[in-house]
Amino acid sequence: MSAVPSDTRPATLRIVSPANGELVGEVPIDTTESVRAAVARARSAQPAWGARSVAERAEVLLAVRQKILANTDAIVQNAAAENGKPRHEGLLHEVMTQLELLSYFAAEAERILAPQPIPLRLLKHRTSYIHYQPRGVVAIIAPWNFPNHLGFGGAAMALLAGNTVVLKPSEFTPLSAVLLRRLYVEAGVPEDCLQVVNGYGDVGAALIDAGVDFVEFTGSVSTGKKVAAMCGERLIPCVLELGGKAPALVMEDADNERTLNAVLWGGYANAGQVCASVERLVVHEKVHDSFVAKFVSRVKALRVGDATKSAEVDVGPLVNQRQLEIVERLVADAVEKGATVACGGRRIEGPGYFYEPTVLLGVTPAMDIANKETFGPVVPVMKVGSEAEAILEANRSHLGLLAYVFTRNGARGRRMAQQIRCGTVMVNDVIATAAAAETPWAGLKQSGIGVAHSDEGLRHMCEARHVNHDAVPWLSRELWWFPYHEANLGLLKRLLAFLYGSGLGRLFPRS
């Protein structure tokens, strides 16, 4: 949550296209007071929204789905202008993922949030179950790389669970939030149930401090630690998704064509600005040279450009000057320490924050680019001599969000996947599980805590409350209640021997 001092802060956020430097739009910056007012309105609106049945809330979210579908072109155009996304990615990453998530949870929310019975092993005269109730006000702090998918995916789930939402988008992509929020309200979500507050890191901090009941944050590890600390101080439950350094392990028996296509897209989609991007290409030495030669040839053919001007663009710009400088710094460090630039390796001069799609060879763990999240169109290649060495490299990172294994042998792929310490490992594919709303999205190590998406993720948006009630209502007294008698003590001992000893004979021992 990058902060701008309040005494120097402008009144509005001016959104400039990362592709051409043109002004795209402006939004007012919220104050601490306006953030608190938004949370208060959300708090007042929650009881009525939460009192609707799950089915009623699902009907509203299905209407949202149709609104999004009807406004596909506007969403795609906005993503291209504000974020620099190629139009294919705007359609898939920001529209299709939303449609799928809304469809899945609207259909399944009643089942997912139904009371869950707990079979009791001992207390057979009683019954237990878990029921799920809304937490209250959910704060969502969303990133700039997938402003709709990551911001409003959580918002949709929170609303289905009966919560109200205050969403703080990135200062680089607030227009997406303004547009999506308008569509939600037009579809029937009450205005106070979904609000957007805009600004820098201090606005995100003010939102956490405003008395919310749950926080979902997506962003960098360093900012995530600050969010976790704030939530910890206030005992606010949270879900944090903090990025990754995904390895793609290319084994000697991989399907060459599929693997080349997969890692090309996995490394350069959204200009590499994906927490699940292929950030380490780990190739078995038996196929390394031939595979890398073909890979470099395909990378050179990628078309870089401004998606607002043409649909024939594969790779767009980085989001801002800071991100461009991070990529430059990491590549320079790798080259200084012995890596070879097979293609790319330079910023593209002119308007916008473009960087050439880059492949680095001879990368070692001593280089920053092998350890730090790049978030740019750069794929570092590492050579390994065995399956075991590939798995060691995959597990070496302090991050553990996603990893990928490529092999024709299905059993081998699953065996390798189960040895990699990541929240998700895909075999012979990349990134796509992010669009599968029913699968969990969770990081291990410093990639985050908690779960987004999936049935478990929806239940995370609720308080899980346990009810235990009498199944045999006519008992006047339990065996272990007052008053205590010596005769009862002996009976209890024999009962324990029966339950946990060798069997029925222990209940009536011989004299």
Residues serving a catalytic function are 241, 275
Cβ burial, residue 162 (10 Å; 0-12/13-18/19+) = buried
**Which 3 state secondary structure label does DSSP give 214?**
strand
Residue 229: which H helix or E strand, with range?
A: helix 221-234
Q: How far apart are CA 136 and CA 41, in angstroms?
A: 12
Neighbours of 282 (CB within 10 A): 27
Q: How far apart are CA 156 and CA 153, in angstroms?
A: 5
Q: How far apart are CA 468 and CA 79, in angstroms?
A: 50
Q: How far apart are CA 451 and CA 460, in angstroms?
A: 8
Dihedral sign from CA coordinates of 232, 233, 235, 241 = negative
Strand 116-118, strand 126-134: pairing? antiparallel
Q: How far apart are CA 246 and CA 334, in angstroms?
A: 18
Locus of tokens 């060495």: 389
Q: How far apart are CA 381 and CA 360, in angstroms?
A: 6
Q: Order of strands across the sheet with 402-406?
A: 340-343, 358-361, 378-384, 278-284, 246-250, 402-406, 424-427
Strand partners, 338: none
Q: How far apart are CA 458 and CA 453, in angstroms?
A: 7
Annotate 230-293 with three-state secondary structure. HHHHHCCCEEEECCCCEEEEECCCCCHHHHHHHHHHHHHHHHHCCCCCEEEEEEECCCHHHHHH
Token code pair at residue 505: 């004979």
What residues have CB less than 8 Å from 433, skipping those under 6 apart?
402, 424, 426, 439, 441
